[in-house]
Chains A and B, each alone.
Chain A
Amino acid sequence: MSALGFAWAEARGVAHLLAETARAVVRERPASRVVLNQAFDVGNRSVFFILVTLGFLGAILNFQTGFQAQRIFGDTSLIGAATLPILVRQLGPTLVGLMVAIRVGTGIAAEIGSMVVTEQVDALRMCGAGPVDYLVKPRVLAGLIAVPALWVLGTGSAWMAGLWVTHLAFQTNPTTYINLDLTRGADVAEGLCKAVVFGVVIPVIAAHSGLRARGGSEGVGRATTQAVVSASLAVIVLDLVIGAAAFALRGGAGA
């Protein structure tokens, strides 16, 4: 029961911070150059990680699907066509989201958390720089830009890995694999929507955990753990919500 209560309190806190950040953005939008620099920084830190993990994901997905298809239908020519839409609207954004929650989420929570426990945030406040304005806002805006970019890169990496694997394992012709027939604009829209939402929510959750760190190294440890768990859970829940909404919008079960 207390786990549920804790989750609820956490969600309320995050929503509050999100609202505050939105207000801060409306009040004073930072220079585009600054935001772009930070987005680049965020992307840079994660790009290798995303390329590797999503690459393996693409390989696994195509291998598994191809293997089952071969077992059941004896034909692997539709693999590329069939896996791409799933990658674009589902596995791509979800796993990029989870990886960003892991990489960037812990990073932000660790940075802000250690600033809190060493009283640097208090010092900031004394200088008139509010933590939301100074620490949270730039990171959220950076995420807004960086995560969709990472989604594109990650999905691309998974797709390329799939091409390679199907060629090696099933001798599938690359030109057969590269098949955009089954991929709709709606799939891209769904994937992009998820990426944007994750890009905003993950930094907010991580910053929220960081700002509540208490008590030296132990507090920082707890904050980073909380950040990755909450952010990952949020990705999964939001994934379902957006996916279900997209499903309904596409006409649902009556399509």
Chain B
Amino acid sequence: MSDAVARLGAGALALAETVGALALFTARVARAALRPRLDRFETWRMLYRVGVESLPIVATTALFAGAIAVVQTGANVVKFRAYEVVGWAFGFSVFREIGPLLVGLMFSGRVGANNTAQLSTMQVTEQVDALRALAIDPIEYLVLPRVLSMVLMMTTLAVIGNAFALVGGIATSWGMLGVDPWVFWNSFAEYVTLTDFANGVVKAAAFGLAISLVSCHFGLAVRGGALGVGRAVNSSVVASAISIFVLDYFITWILK
């Protein structure tokens, strides 16, 4: 019994330590961002890499997410003969919730994990120390470009993802429910507002910020060799996922 309590206590302490370290890291990044000496070359490189990495996976996920959303509400639509409402219901749930959430989680897996893997490998092989020895601030040179490109990309992907989800949704409701694409589009265009759309975009940007900060932190804070790198990636995606859900909740609440 006391063993379980001790482990719980140790777990809580570890959690507090992680949250504290993350907060400190965010503060350092914020301070560097105030006088941004952004490496233009590195930033463009990051933007390109992040975009290329994430686009296929997000597009695919969004397509499927759109299809899933329709399949799941399909029974109710048929039961209540609510064919006209499909577009609207789809629109607001995908744009506000499912879209940013799934895109965020997939982005965290594809880009966040990769980011942590690369940064932690650099840290473990002393390349980060080599940067410092060249009087180059790792936060300025490594972190800021990544944060910027990940936030920009997530926001863009939210929009692109919405488009793909729409395609998936229209196709599925046509194929499975026999809802005419025009009917779908009409109810969608009529009832889905810009606020719904903006809501999702704000969430996406927030998720992008969280994922970038978390993945960079765990990458640079790694300890130990190959296993340490694996653990860093693990911690990074877990923490990103938690941040996404927490942020999702608070933004939903605030932006209602």
Contact = CB atoms under 8 A, between A and B. Distances in A.
A/B: CB atoms within 8 Å of each other = yes
Interface of A: 3, 48-49, 52-53, 56-57, 59-61, 63-64, 67-68, 86, 89-90, 94, 98-99, 101-103, 106-107, 109-111, 113-114, 117-118, 216-225, 228-229, 232-233, 236-237, 239-240, 243-244, 247, 250, 252-255
Given A218-B121, A236-B61, A244-B176, A103 B238 contact: yes
B225 interface: yes
A217 B113 contact: no
Given A237-B64, A243-B71, A217 B120 contact: yes
Interface string B42-80: 000000000000001100110011011001101100110
Contact of B109 (A221, A228, A247, A255): A228
A111 B226 CA distance: 10
3 cross-chain pairs, A with B, having the tightest CB-CB distances, nearest first: A110-B230, A221-B117, A56-B245
Given A217-B229, A228-B237, A254-B78, 10 more contacts: A61-B97, A64-B97, A90-B68, A102-B109, A220-B229, A224-B230, A225-B113, A240-B68, A243-B72, A253-B78
Given A64-B252, A244-B71, A253-B78, A106 B227 contact: no
B98 to A, nearest CB: 9
B242 interface: yes
A107 B227 contact: no
A254 B177 CA distance: 9
29 contacts: A48-B11, A52-B245, A59-B249, A60-B245, A60-B249, A63-B249, A63-B253, A68-B92, A102-B109, A110-B229, A110-B230, A110-B233, A114-B229, A117-B226, A216-B225, A217-B225, A218-B229, A221-B114, A221-B117, A221-B233, A225-B233, A228-B109, A229-B57, A229-B109, A236-B61, A243-B72, A247-B71, A254-B78, A255-B78
A101 B72 CA distance: 22
Given A49-B242, A216-B226, A232-B105, A224 B56 contact: no
Nearest to B55: A3
Given A52-B245, A53-B241, A106-B234, A233 B60 contact: yes
B148 interface: no
B178 interface: yes
B242 A52 contact: yes
Contacts of B234: 103, 106-107, 110, 224
Given A114-B226, A114-B227, A225 B68 contact: no
A49 B238 contact: yes
Interface of B is mostly: helix
B223 interface: no
A223 B113 CA distance: 10
A220 B230 contact: yes
B128 to A, nearest CB: 13
Nearest to B241: A102
Contacts of B56: 3
Interface string B149-191: 0000000000000000000000000001110000000000000
Nearest to B119: A221
Contacts of B114: 221, 225
A12 to B, nearest CB: 18
B143 to A, nearest CB: 17
B174 to A, nearest CB: 11
Nearest to A101: B109
B146 interface: no
